[in-house]
């Protein structure tokens, strides 16, 4: 049985070394940002009637805009 709880003291970002650990604690799908961006700096995501913009910054962070 998987434990789906992340403790508040645990980091919220995961390095490549922790990917296996993530899969052990959650049965939710895991997507790499590179898969979503597919070589682009920015993509659009439609969620119901709303449109969102996912953007990778120069610093390598991800921003989601409504």
Which CATH number belongs to the domain containing residue 36 in this structure? 2.10.70.10
What per-residue confidence (pLDDT) applies to 26? 77
Residue 46: inside a domain, yes or no?
yes
Under the banding of pLDDT at 50, 70 and 90, the label for residue 1 is very low
Q: Quick one: the chain helix, strand, coil %, rounded to 5?
A: 25, 25, 50
Residue 2: inside a domain, yes or no?
no
Q: How many domains does the chain divide into?
A: 1
Cα 27 from chain centroid? Answer: 14
Residue 6: inside a domain, yes or no?
no
Q: Tokens in use for 27?
A: 């049965």
Residue 1: inside a domain, yes or no?
no
Residues spanned by the domain of 57: 16-65
Share of the chain above pLDDT 90, in %: 52
């Amino acid at each position: 049985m998987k434990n789906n709880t992340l403790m508040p003291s645990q980091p919220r970002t995961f390095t490549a070394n922790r990917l296996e650990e993530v899969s052990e604690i959650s049965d939710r799908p895991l997507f790499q940002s590179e898969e979503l961006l597919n070589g682009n700096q920015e993509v659009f995501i439609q969620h119901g009637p709303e449109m969102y913009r996912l953007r990778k910054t120069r610093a390598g962070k991800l921003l989601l805009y409504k």
